[in-house]
Amino acid sequence: MNEETIRRRATVHDVARAAGVSLATVDRVLNGRPGVRAATAEKVEQAIAELGFARDLNASLMARARDLSVVFFIPDGSNEFMDSLAEAVHRRSPLALADHIHLDLRRVRALDAAGLAESLSQLAPRECDCAVIVSSDEPEVLAAIDAAQRRGIAVMTLVSDLPASARRNFIGIDNVAAGRTAASLMGRFLPQGGKVAVVAGSLHLRDHAERLDGFRAALGAEFPALEIIGPLEGHDERTETAEIITALLAEHADLGGLYNLGAGNAGLVSALEASGRSGNLRVIAHELTAPTRAGLASGAIDVVLDQNPDGEIREAIAAARALALDASRVAVTDPIEIGIFLRDNLR
Amino acid sequence: MNEETIRRRATVHDVARAAGVSLATVDRVLNGRPGVRAATAEKVEQAIAELGFARDLNASLMARARDLSVVFFIPDGSNEFMDSLAEAVHRRSPLALADHIHLDLRRVRALDAAGLAESLSQLAPRECDCAVIVSSDEPEVLAAIDAAQRRGIAVMTLVSDLPASARRNFIGIDNVAAGRTAASLMGRFLPQGGKVAVVAGSLHLRDHAERLDGFRAALGAEFPALEIIGPLEGHDERTETAEIITALLAEHADLGGLYNLGAGNAGLVSALEASGRSGNLRVIAHELTAPTRAGLASGAIDVVLDQNPDGEIREAIAAARALALDASRVAVTDPIEIGIFLRDNLR
DNA sequence: TTGTGCATGAGGTACGTGCCTCATGACATT
DNA sequence: AATGTCATGAGGCACGTACCTCATGCACAA
C-alpha cells in the first residue's frame, strides 16, 4: 500500500486551517457553544464537509472530564423479560466502563407513563447523555422525549418503538415478522390443519398487536387449513394466563396449536403440564426466560421466539456511543434478529 | 452517588506509585520490553493486580503511531458463504477505522493449507496485530499459527475451530447444536415419521462432521420414527450436489425430508425445482446466501440455519481489540447464535 | 468619545498511554 | 582501576479533543 493511499483522518487542526479560523472557533462550532457568527460557522461546517472530518470519539471521551453516561429505564414488575434486560445492562457495565461509557439502570413502574415522563423530565444533560426507554405509546411520554431531546439528551426506544416521538433510534425486533414466523412454523408443525389458539398480553401493547397482525396475515396466506381461536388476553399475568389456557384446553379438546405472543409464560407452562396434553400440542411462545426454558425442557413448549436482550443492550450502547458525537445523525446499528429456540439450540 | 463511591480507574501513574518504580519501568513491564529485573517486574505485576489496573485501550490506540491492524484470511472460490463473510469485513471497515482498527481482507485458495500457512508465516508483527483465519485442520496450519503467536501476532479461528492449535479465540457457532436443531425441526415437520436424507460437503470438514453428529444424535433420541438416508457427500459443489439430489429423489419417491448440512445450495435448489417435488418435501439447509434465499422464496427450502457472518465479523473485531492489550487472556465475546430463517423472517 | 458586548484568536492544561532519549548508579569483567 | 553492561529514573513529545482564560479588535449605541 502506498503512502499516498493512506490518508490520515482529518483532525480539528485540519478543519481550522481549511476554514481559516482558529481551533477555538472550530471547537465552538463542534460543541454548539455560543460566540460564533453564522457566516463563520458556515465556513467551518463547509470545511468539515469537505474534509470529511469526524470527531475521534475516543480522544473526545478521554478529553472530557466525565464518562459518557447512558441511562436505561426498564419496567419493573413481574415481567421476566424485563428482568433479563436489566441483567444484560449489568453484564455489559464493566465492559462499557472500560470504554468510558457509564451505564445507569433505573427500574420504573411498568405501564406508568406519567412516572416515566416525570423521570425523563428530571434528567439533566450534565448527568445523562442518552436515555433508553421501554414504553407504551402515551402522550406524556412523547412530550417528555421531545423535551429531553431539546435539552440535549438523546433518547432511544427499546423493544417497543414510538415512531411518532422525537426518539433518535429504535432498538428491537420486527414484531410483525415475529408473528409471521410463528405462523410459518405453526403451519409446518400442523400439516393436516386444525385449530390454533392465540393468547396475547394486551392488544393495546404495540408489540403484541403487531405480532398478532403478522401471525394472522401469514397464516391466512399460507395455511388456510388452520383456524384461529381467539385472540384471548391474559394481561401478561401468570395466574390469569393459566386460567385462560386451562379453559381453552377444556373447551377445545382437538386443539392442535397454541401461540402465546405475550408474557405470562409461567402460567402457560403450568396450565399445559397440568392438562397432560403437552406432547400432542404444538406451542410457540416469546422470550427465552426461566419459565419458557423450563417449558422447552419439559416439552410443554416447542419453540420460543426471542429478541436477544444482550444483543439489544449491546446495540443500544453502540448507538448511544455513535449518537454522542453526531447530534444530527441517526446511528446505524446492527439489526436485532429474531432468535428461534428449540430444546436443542438453547442459548 | 457520593464522590467516594466513584473510584477513578487506576492509571500507569498509580501503578508506578504503588510499585515504587518509575513510569518508564511500568511501561517496560506492560509492553514486554527488556531491561527489567525479574524482582522488579514482580513488584509491578503485583501493583497491577492490587489496583486492578487495566490499560485504557483508547488512550493506548491513540498514543501509538499506527492503528490496530486485523488481517482476515477468507477462503476464495465458489463458496457463497465465504463471500458473505468477506462482504461483512468490508461493511465493518469504516466503522472499525473510526475506532483506530484497520481491517485487511485477504482471500486465499480454499482448502489450500500450505498456501495459508505460507501467508501466515509471512505476517510481520509490525503490520499485523491479529490474524483471523478460516481453516481446516492441517498440521502446516497448526504450526504456522503457533509460530505467529510466538512472533506476537494473535491468531483467531473463524467458523471452524482448531482447538489443538495455539489460537487465542474461536468465533463461530456450536455446530453440534446446529445439527441437533435441524433434527428437532425436521422431527416436528414430519410427525408421521418417514425417510430423511442427509447431504454433506465433506465429512473431513470439522463443521460438517459435527453437524452430522448432532443431527444423528437428536433424531435418534427424539424421533425414532425417522429413518436417515446417507450421508452423501457433494463436496460443496453445485453440480455434484445437484446430481446427488436428483438421484436421491428418483430412488426414494417417498422421501419426507432433506438436510443439506454443507454448501452447494445452488445445486440443491435447482435439483429440487426440477424434480417438481418442492412443497411436499421438508428441506433444511445452511447459510443464508443468494441460493438459499431463492430456495426459501420459492418454497424449495423450508428452513435455513445461519451463522450470521456480520455478527461473526463484529465479534472477531471486538475480540481482536480485547486481545491487543491482554496478551495473556482469552477475550470474552458474545456467543454467535444459530439463526433460524424461514421465508417469513428473512434478514 | 467612551462604554458595552460580541466574535474571534492565542495559547495553555488535561486525559492516559506509547515511545524516545539521556543520565545515573550498581555491578561484573578484564 | 578501567571498562562495559544492565536496571532504572527522569522527562519530554505525541495522539486528538475538551475546556479554560485572556487579549484583541470591531461594531454599535449612549
Q: pLDDT at residue A5 above 60?
A: no
Mind listing the pLDDT tens digit for each residue in A135-165?
888 899 999 999 999 888 999 999 988 899 9
Distance CA B255, CA B182 (A): 16
Q: Give strand ranges (E) for chain B.
A: 68-75, 101-108, 130-133, 154-158, 169-171, 194-200, 226-233, 255-260, 282-286, 303-306, 339-341
- Asked whether the beta carbons of residue B311 and residue A334 sit closer than 8 angstroms, the reply is yes
Answer whether residue A287 shows pLDDT above 90. yes
**Is the domain of B182 the same as that of B302?**
yes
Cβ pair A134, A73 in contact under 8 A: yes
Give the distance, in angstroms, between the CA of residue B48 and the centroid of all CA atoms in the same chain.
33
Using CB atoms, which residue from B58, B178, B345 is nearest to A177?
B345
Residue numbers in chain B where pLDDT is lower than 50: 1-5
- Which amino acid is residue A111, in one-letter code? L
Assigned domain for A317 exists: yes
Say how many C-beta atoms besides its own lie within 10 A of residue B64's C-beta. 11
Q: What Cα–Cα distance (Å) separates residue B173 from each residue in A312, B219, B305, B334, B340? A: 19, 20, 11, 11, 12
For B241, the grid coordinates are 450436489
CB atoms B339 and A335 under 8 Å: no
Residues B42 and B118 in one domain: no
Contacts within 8 Å (CB) and 24+ apart, A267-270: A267/A234, A267/A237, A267/A238, A267/A239, A267/A240, A267/A241, A267/A242, A267/A243, A268/A199, A268/A241, A268/A242, A268/A295, A268/A300, A268/A301, A269/A294, A269/A295, A269/A298, A269/A300, A269/A301, A270/A238, A270/A242
**Which residues in chain B have Cβ-Cβ distances shorter than 8 Å to A215?**
none
Phi-psi domain of A166 (left: phi exceeds 0; alpha: psi -120 through 50; beta: other) = alpha
Exposure on the CB side of residue B135, measured as CA atoms within 13 A: 32
Full residue range of the structural domain in which residue A195 is found: 175-306
| pLDDT number for residue B327 | 65
Confidence (pLDDT) at A20: 85
CB-CB under 8 Å, B57 with A337: no
Give the mean pLDDT of A214-233: 92
Q: How many beta-carbon pairs below 8 A join chains A and B?
A: 94
Residue B64: the pLDDT is 84
**pLDDT value at residue A228:** 93
**Residue B62 to residues A51, B53, B66, B98: CA-CA distances in angstroms?**
20, 19, 9, 11
Quick one: which of A253, A345, A239 has its CA closest to A302? A345
Closest CA relative to residue B26, chosen from B9, B8, B46, B7: B46
Within-domain flag for B261: yes
* B291 and B204 fall within a common domain: yes
CA distance A215 to chain B (A): 10
- Chain A residue numbers with beta carbons less than 8 Å from the beta carbon of B339 are 337, 339-340
Sign of the four-CA dihedral B226, B231, B235, B241: negative
Is the predicted pLDDT of residue A279 greater than 80, yes or no?
no
Asked whether residue A283 falls in the same domain as residue A223, the answer is yes
**Confidence at A1, pLDDT banded by 50, 70, 90:** very low
The CATH number covering residue B152 comes to 3.40.50.2300
pLDDT of residue A53: 87
- Whether B61 maps to a domain, the answer reads no
The set of cell numbers assigned to A133 is 426507554
Task: Please state the domain count of chain A.
Answer: 3
Same-domain pairing of A231 and A302: yes
Flag if B344 and A98 touch (Cβ within 8 Å): no
Q: Determine the distance in angstroms separating the CA of B313 from the nearest CA of chain A, rounded to an integer.
A: 12
Report yes or no on B125 lying in a domain.
yes
Which residues in chain B touch residue A99, judged by CB atoms under 8 angstroms apart?
57-58
Of B58, B188, B338, the CB nearest to A189: B188
Answer whether residue A7 shows pLDDT above 70: no
Q: Which of residues 12-71 of B touch strand C (CB under 7 A)?
A: 12-13, 23-24, 27, 30-31, 53, 55-56, 59-60, 62-65
Is position B1 within any domain? Answer: no
The reply to whether B117 falls in a domain is yes
Please list every residue in chain B whose beta carbon sits closer than 8 Å to the beta carbon of residue A214: 344
Report yes or no on A1 lying in a domain.
no
Give the per-residue pLDDT at B23.
Answer: 86
Protein CA at A69 to nucleotide C1' at D3, angstroms:
60
**Cβ-based burial of B95 (10 A; exposed 0-12, middle 13-18, buried ≥19):** middle
For position B323, what pLDDT does the model report? 87
B180 in the same domain as B154: no
Residues of A with CB under 8 A from a CB of B: 9, 54, 56-59, 61-62, 97-100, 174, 177-178, 180-181, 183-185, 188-189, 191, 214, 218, 282, 302, 308, 310-311, 314, 334-335, 337-340, 342-345, 347
Residues A207 and A318 in one domain: no
Q: How confident is the model at residue B104, as a pLDDT?
A: 95
Residue with cell 488481517: B71
Mean predicted confidence (pLDDT) in A94-103: 91
CA A140 to chain centre: 20
In this structure, the dihedral spanned by the alpha carbons of residues A201, A202, A206 and A211, taken in order and rounded to 10 degrees, is 50
Nearest to A181 among B282, B342, B347 (CB): B342
Q: Tell me, what's the pLDDT at B7?
A: 64
- Residues B43 and B28 placed together within one structural domain of the fold: yes
pLDDT of residue B69: 93
CATH number reported for the structural domain that contains residue A20 in this entry: 1.10.260.40
Spatial neighbors of B6 by CB under 8 A, at least 6 apart, are none
Crossing angle for the helix pair B206-222 and B175-189, nearest 10 degrees? 40
Whole-Å CA distances, B29 to A101, B44, B136: 28, 7, 37
Strand C nucleotides within a 7 Å radius of protein CB atoms = 6-12, 14-21
Candidates A54, A188, A340; nearest CB to B189: A188
Q: Do B271 and B265 form a contact (C-beta atoms < 8 A)?
A: no
Nucleic strand C near CB of residue A24 (< 7 Å): yes
Same domain, A254 and A314: no
Q: Which tens digit of pLDDT belongs to each residue from A321-346?
A: 988 877 666 778 888 988 989 887 77
Query: Cα–Cα–Cα angle for A214, A218, A219, nearest 5°?
Result: 115
Q: What's chain A's average pLDDT? A: 89
Q: Using a CB-CB distance cutoff of 8 angstroms, which residues of chain A are in contact with residue B56? A: 62, 98
For B184-238, the DSSP string reads: HHHHHH-TT-EEEEEEES-TTSHHHHHHHHHHHHHHHHH-TTEEEEEEEE-TT-H
Q: Name the minimum distance, in Å, from the CA of A227 to any CA of chain B.
A: 19
- Looking at the structure, do residues B253 and B279 belong to the same domain, yes or no? yes
Provide the grid cell at B325: 492489550
DSSP state of A154: E
What cell was used for A118?
Answer: 416525570
Query: Strand, coil or helix: what is A133?
Result: strand
A199 or A274, greater pLDDT: A199
User: Do A189 and A300 reside in the same domain of the chain?
Assistant: yes
Residue A332 maps to a domain: yes
Note the pLDDT of residue A278.
Answer: 66
**pLDDT: is B109 or A78 the higher one?**
B109
Q: What is the mean pLDDT of residues A93-99?
A: 91
CA A177 to chain CA centroid, nearest Å: 15
Same domain, B316 and B167: yes
Cβ-based neighbour number of residue B168 at 10 Å: 23
Provide the CA A45 to C1' D25 distance, Å, integer.
24
